[in-house]
A and B are shown apart, each in its own frame.
Chain A
Amino acid sequence: MSKKLVLGFDDSESAKAALDFATTLAKAQGAEVIVAHVLEWSPYSFLTKEELEERHMRRKEELARAEDALLKPVLKKLTDAGISATTVLRYGHIADTLVDIINENKAEQIVIGRTGHSALSSRLFGSVAGSLAQAAPVPVTIVP
């Protein structure tokens, strides 16, 4: 069984840098890349009646958009580079869900971008990279 590497990916600049880094790494180690995109979602938020009604439709749209705009191009880029890659698309708390994905796939490491949160918002809500560094069961590489 080949080594597995999870790449936490979104549409930020640093995620692109993380993709480049992961590509080089996977090539060197002959690892398989699992590209993971998590849509922030809490089952305990408050919605209006209209949001409730439209939720199922919106969810489908969001999934389709993430698949087409984010994951497909990355998958193509990786396979073009000769790396075997798969994608995972989930809803949930971003850091927690990435940890779940690592555990489910028995991955050996995770690469993520350091998203450009402002100092204030990361102080208030915590940054994904920060919480992942604390919670992940495997080595974490944070790419600026």
Chain B
Amino acid sequence: MKHSLKTPLAALFALLALSAPALAQSIDERVNEIFANSTGWFVSLIFSDFPGTSFPWIVGWLVIAATVFTIYFGVVQFRWVGHSIALVKGDYSDPNDAGEVSHFQALATALSGTVGLGNIAGVAVAIGIGGPGATFWMILAGLMGMASKFTECTLGVKYRNEYPDGKVSGGPMYYLSKGFKERGIFGGGILAVLFSVFCILGALGGGNMFQANQAHAQLANVLGDYPGWITGLVMASVVFAVIVGGLKSIAKVTEKVVPFMGILYVGTALIIILMNFDQIGTAFGRIFEGAFTGLGVAGGMVGALIQGFRRAAFSNEAGVGSAAIAHSAVRTKEPITEGFVSLLEPFIDTVVVCTMTALVIIITDQLVTDPETGLFVLNEAGTAIQTVGDNSGVALTSAAFQSSIDGFKYILALAVILFAFSTMLSWSYYGLKAWTYLFGEGQTKELIFKLIFCIFVVIGAASSLGPVIDFSDAAIFAMAVVNVLGLYFLMPIVKRELQSYASRLRSGEIKKYK
């Protein structure tokens, strides 16, 4: 089956590669046009402003949610972070449970789904549009998002479905329906269905098209420009081989390489920052000043805030509900321990990794400033800050790294492709869980989703960044609308769990093994 498929694919590639580049370019343009036209309404609905302001309601929604959870759980993200680390280290793991998924493994797997292009390309987009000040709002969003993540992952484990064969399925669709029923509130089922629909869209958007799009941008940056649908077809066939063809070994290798790529990325960023240590103060100065003034960026302070919050949510997925799907697979006696572990994710993802990217871009002076006023110079269209090489997205990050360490763009290209790939695999899993929640499990039904998923890889790689990023954000935020609404109703349940766990920890009923 696999072999019979490879040959015609290869022939197709050869044929397409030989055909005129002009034709190829026009395919990309057509794809882009159709895509932008058919998703525009959805994007404008999600990103419409509060009446009479230029502030998107969705950003307000996320800020309020993160603030509410932070206050309601008594700043859980700071008071319990020590305990979270102890859990990950395995201090509280019963040795008799060895062989089950550990807290470390759950965290690592969830992180490999979120650490990725959001941290590399997304941050560049935020800074390119919102200026350095966006970093401040991004970090703040990351810190507050820890509380949202804590809430959703605790619920994910508490209300998961366990099947007789030992498999588990969980996530917002399960806690929305089961949790609401338990509290006697109407509407959980409807929210669960809505969430599933948006989750499928999110899987196709941010979890797929954005990844394919930026992986192609990075490849074109290194290899020279060529049509996006070629990258799309290659990536789609590898994704196809894994999720449809069952080549699990590719997924396993990816899962093992990605953490090292992440460490390499952060390590390199640190080296660049240390090489320019005299500018660290200036960089933070710009971040703080820009956060409240915008430093002349289009949209000013609000522009920086919107970009910061948008990219943070996109990167760490706090409040989106996706992490709840990943964490619910973990077998633990205390659902809340998964919540504690998961609150480390936005910290690592946004506060550490995203900030590294931001600092490298700012320190290496990629953004063009007016020498007289010290304000940023906007590009011709007036939509973003003028950058040194006229770069945006992943190309901007690449240029920043390359300017300090020659040849790093090749390593970054490899990292980007691996990150993109592992994020796609993660989201194909989330999307499939939502799909099976809606349509039930079954080989044909699952195959349909997987095929749609592969097609969107090609569309994503062929489209231009603007429409893709808008749709990706819109879909991911639509998930957050439903999920956060549900979390408000279910947070008393998490609070009870937290109080019970805290008192048992104090009484010594929950004991340390190490």
Known: A48-B252, A60-B166. A53 touches B329 (CB 8 A): yes
Q: Which of these, A39, A46, A47, A49, contacts B99 with CB under 8 Å?
A: A39
* Contact (Cβ within 8 A) A46 B329: no
Min CB distance, B326 to chain A, in Å? Answer: 6
B108 within 8 A of A: yes
Q: Quick one: which of A59-116 are within 8 Å of B by CB? A: 59-60, 62-63, 90-92
Question: A56 on the interface (CB 8 Å rule)?
Answer: yes
In the complex, which residues of chain B have a beta carbon less than 8 angstroms from the beta carbon of A56?
A: 100-101, 166-168, 331
Q: Whole-angstrom distance from the CB of A108 to the nearest CB of chain B?
A: 23
Instruction: Give the CA-CA distance A56 to B109 in the complex, in Å.
Output: 16
Q: Could you list 6 examples of A-B contacts with CB < 8 Å? A: A41-B99, A43-B93, A43-B104, A47-B101, A52-B109, A60-B166
A100 → B minimal CB distance (Å): 8
Q: Report yes or no: A92 in contact with B98, Cβ–Cβ below 8 A.
A: yes
Name 4 extra pairs, CB < 8 A, besides A43-B93, A57-B167. Answer: A44-B105, A49-B113, A56-B101, A91-B98
- From the candidates B102, B167, B169, B251, name the one contacting A43 in the complex (CB within 8 A): B102
Q: Tell me whether A46 and B108 are in contact (CB under 8 A).
A: yes
Contacts of A90 in B (CB 8 A): 98
**A29 within 8 A of partner (CB):** no
- Contact call B329/A49, Cβ cutoff below 8 A: yes
B167 and A54 contact, CB distance less than 8 A? yes
Contact (A50, B102) CB under 8 Å given A43-B90, A56-B166: no
Cβ of B98 and Cβ of A52 under 8 Å apart? no
| B220 lies within 8 A of chain A by Cβ | no
- Give Cα A49–Cα B277 distance, bound, in whole angstroms: 39
How many angstroms between the C-alpha atoms of A60 and B99 in the bound complex? 9
Q: Does B366 touch A at the CB level, under 8 Å?
A: no
Q: Which 10 pairs show the lowest CB-CB distances between chains A and B?
A: A57-B166, A43-B102, A91-B99, A91-B98, A53-B329, A52-B329, A49-B429, A59-B99, A55-B101, A48-B255
Tell me how far the C-beta of A61 lies from the nearest C-beta in chain B, rounded to whole angstroms.
Answer: 9
The residues of A that contact B425 with a CB separation of less than 8 Å are: 48-49
Q: Interface size (B, Cβ < 8 Å)? A: 36
Residue pair A43, B109 in contact (C-beta under 8 Å)? no
The minimal Cβ–Cβ distance linking A123 to chain B, given in whole angstroms, is 21
- A45 interface residue per 8 A CB criterion: yes
- Distance in angstroms between the alpha carbons of A5 and B106 in the assembled complex: 38
Whether the Cβ atoms of A43 and B248 lie closer than 8 Å is no
Selected from B256, B326, B331, the residue in CB contact (under 8 A) with A49 is B326
Per-position 1/0 for A22-60, Cβ under 8 A of B: 000000000000000001010111111111111111011
Closest to B325 in A: A49
**B278 contacts A by Cβ under 8 Å:** no
Confirm or deny: B165 has a beta carbon within 8 angstroms of a beta carbon on chain A. yes
The answer to whether A48 and B90 touch (CB under 8 A), given A53-B167, A60-B166, is no
1/0 contact string of B360-372 vs chain A (CB within 8 Å): 0000000000000
Contacts of B256 in A (CB 8 A): 46
Pair A45/B105 contact, Cβ less than 8 Å: yes
Bound together, the chains give a CA A57 to CA B331 distance in angstroms of: 11
Query: What chain B residues lie within 8 Å of A92 (beta carbons)?
Result: 95, 98
The complex places the Cα of A90 from the Cα of B166 at a distance, in Å, of 20
- Tell me the complex Cα distance, A50–B365, Å: 43
Q: Max chain B CB contacts within 10 Å: which of A39, A43, A92?
A: A43
Instruction: Assess whether B337 is interfacial by the CB under 8 Å rule.
Output: no
Contacts of A52 in B (CB 8 A): 101, 105-106, 109, 326, 329-330
Q: Report B276 CB to chain A, min CB distance, Å.
A: 33
User: In chain A, what residue has the closest Cβ to B96?
Assistant: A90
Q: By the criterion CB–CB under 8 Å, are A47 and B109 in contact?
A: yes
- Is B299 part of the contact surface with A, judged by Cβ < 8 Å? no
Residue B56 CB within 8 A of the other chain: no
Tell me the B72-103 residues at the A interface (CB within 8 Å).
90, 93, 95, 98-103
B119 within 8 A of A: no
A119 to B105, CA, bound (A): 31
Say yes or no: is B112 at the interface (Cβ < 8 Å to chain A): yes
Is the CB of B464 closer than 8 A to any CB of chain A?
Answer: no
> In the assembled complex, how far is the CB of residue A40 from the closest CB belonging to chain B, in whole angstroms?
10
* Nearest CB in chain B: distance from A70 CB, A: 16
Using known A-B contacts A46-B108, A49-B326, determine if residue A59 contacts B167 with beta carbons closer than 8 Å. no
Give chain B residues whose Cβ lies under 8 Å from the Cβ of A44.
102, 104-105
Report chain A residues within 8 Å CB of B109.
46-49, 52
Q: How far is the CA of A50 from the CA of B108 in the complex (A)?
A: 14
Indicate if the CB atoms of B165 and A49 lie closer than 8 Å: no
Q: Which A residues lie within 8 Å of B331 (CB)? A: 55-56
Shortest CB distance A97–B (Å): 8
* Residues on A with beta carbons closer than 8 Å to the beta carbon of B95: 92
Q: How far is the CB of A44 from chain B (nearest CB, A)?
A: 5
**Interface residue? B189 (CB, 8 A):** no
The smallest C-beta distance from A38 to any residue of chain B, in angstroms, reads 10
Q: Give Cα A60 to B165, complex, Å.
A: 10
The answer to the question of B350 belonging to the interface, with a C-beta cut-off of 8 Å to chain A, is: no
- CA–CA, A48 and B104, complex, Å: 13
Residue with the greatest number of chain A CB neighbours at <10 A, chosen from B90, B100, B248? B100
Task: Provide the residues of chain A in CB contact with B103, threshold 8 Å.
Answer: 43
Whether B300 is near chain A, meaning CB under 8 Å from some CB there, is no
Q: B296 at the A/B interface (Cβ < 8 Å)?
A: no
